[in-house]
């Protein structure tokens, strides 16, 4: 046993994980190069070695829960490349308008067949609300309805959805509340899909960066929502995003921000997630959001239902396992097995971060402070 293997085995044992063990969380190593790679590359090496088939685990989410509960990440020195990357992120704007389309190209532009196999019928790609739900479809319907009730949506409202994805919220708001929203997404394939869904309705879909939205060109809105998009905005642009909302929101309007939240303030996201799933991702913290809204908005309601994201992500994970083999040729990039293992790793690792409360899910309702009062609906 070399020093790399000894180090990795010792760390894993602190988390109750045994290499070669028989428990669901135990690691099975299939390539001895795994140990040196993890020591040298940290989180990136752990994820990429899983994608390459160098190790496996009977229950990935339980493996990650053990790692996170023991806080092994805080006991390991960051690779020098990641230390440098964090320093660069503090200086450069990694989510500039020039770079904003990278996450769409890598993630959201994937063929709709892949996402249809994973998500609910409405194609809602953010955390569901599981308080009274027993299925993914119901959890997403309940989340959308909760958001509509929080902002007091009415048929006469002009509604803007920043980061509308495949049109889940805008179609729901039209069907259930009689609105004719404007949805904006940076992904052109998403926009084309949403337009096909909305054909024959007064819903409008715009393919654009959020920085292109303004009152002069698009008018004002009584209600603005954004689901699962703020994680791509980045600390250098949080204030600019809020100023866009402030510009288009009417004086008596309401803004609902639905976003993943971090317990600590960081300049960038996990290196594996950044490279393979969400380029330039940066999960906001309370401090990030507070600085961004100061002087612009009054926070009327701040709702955390982070544990519900564990259930949502594991539902997507189960759908991935169930439907992936039947996807048509060309529906996903080659090699198919490595792509599958990447998404398996993504859903299981992120689900565990919510289960162990390392990540949160916030729905925040804001106003311009000109309404007499706000009454919570929950």
Gap between the Cα atoms of 361 and 15, Å rounded:
26
Half-sphere exposure of 124 (CA within 13 A, CB side): 30
**Which residues partner with 362 through β-bridges?**
259, 304
Q: Is 286 exposed, middle or buried (0-12, 13-18, 19+ CB in 10 A)?
A: middle
165 and 185 Cβ atoms separated by less than 8 Å: yes
Catalytic residue check, 198: no
Gap between the Cα atoms of 286 and 295, Å rounded:
16
**Torsions phi, psi for 315 (to 5 deg):** -65, -45
Active-site choice (65, 148, 198, 350): 350
* Helices and strands counted in the chain (H then E): 15, 9
Specify the length of the chain in residues. Answer: 378
Gap between the Cα atoms of 180 and 169, Å rounded:
11
263 and 358 Cβ atoms separated by less than 8 Å: yes
Gap between the Cα atoms of 361 and 92, Å rounded:
27
Instruction: Give the residue numbers marked as catalytic.
Output: 350
């Amino acid at each position: 046993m070399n020093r790399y293997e000894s180090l990795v085995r010792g760390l894993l044992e602190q988390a109750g994980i045994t290499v070669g063990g028989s428990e669901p969380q135990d690691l099975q190593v299939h390539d001895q190069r795994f140990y040196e790679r993890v020591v040298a590359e940290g989180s990136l090496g752990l994820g990429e070695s899983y994608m390459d088939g160098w190790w496996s685990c009977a229950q990935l989410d339980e493996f990650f829960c053990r790692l996170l509960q023991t806080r092994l990440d805080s006991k390991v020195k960051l690779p020098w490349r990641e230390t440098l990357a964090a320093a660069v992120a503090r200086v450069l704007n990694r989510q500039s308008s020039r770079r904003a389309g990278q996450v769409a190209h890598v993630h959201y532009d994937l063929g709709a067949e892949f996402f249809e196999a994973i998500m609910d019928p409405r194609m809602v790609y953010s955390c569901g609300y599981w308080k009274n739900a027993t299925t993914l479809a119901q959890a997403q319907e309940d989340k959308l309805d909760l958001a509509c009730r929080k902002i007091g949506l009415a048929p006469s409202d002009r509604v803007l959805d920043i980061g509308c994805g495949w049109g889940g919220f805008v179609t729901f708001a039209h069907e259930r509340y009689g609105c004719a929203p404007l949805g904006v997404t940076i992904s052109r394939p998403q926009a084309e899909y949403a337009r096909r869904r909305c054909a024959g309705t007064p819903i409008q879909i715009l393919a654009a960066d959020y920085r292109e939205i303004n009152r002069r060109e698009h008018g004002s809105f009584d209600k603005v929502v954004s689901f699962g998009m703020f994680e791509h905005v980045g600390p250098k642009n949080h204030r600019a995003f809020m100023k866009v909302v402030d510009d288009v929101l009417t004086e008596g309007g309401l803004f609902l921000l639905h976003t993943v939240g971090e317990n600590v303030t960081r300049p960038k996201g996990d290196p594996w997630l950044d490279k393979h799933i969400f380029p330039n991702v940066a999960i906001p913290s309370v401090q990030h959001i507070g600085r961004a809204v100061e002087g612009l908005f009054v926070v009327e309601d701040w709702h955390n239902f982070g544990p519900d994201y564990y259930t949502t992500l594991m539902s997507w994970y189960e759908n991935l396992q169930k439907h992936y083999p039947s996807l048509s040729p060309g529906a996903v990039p080659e090699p198919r097995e490595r792509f599958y293992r990447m998404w398996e790793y993504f859903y299981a690792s992120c689900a565990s971060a919510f289960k162990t409360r390392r990540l949160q899910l916030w729905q925040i309702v804001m106003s311009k402070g000109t309404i007499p009062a706000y009454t919570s609906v929950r």
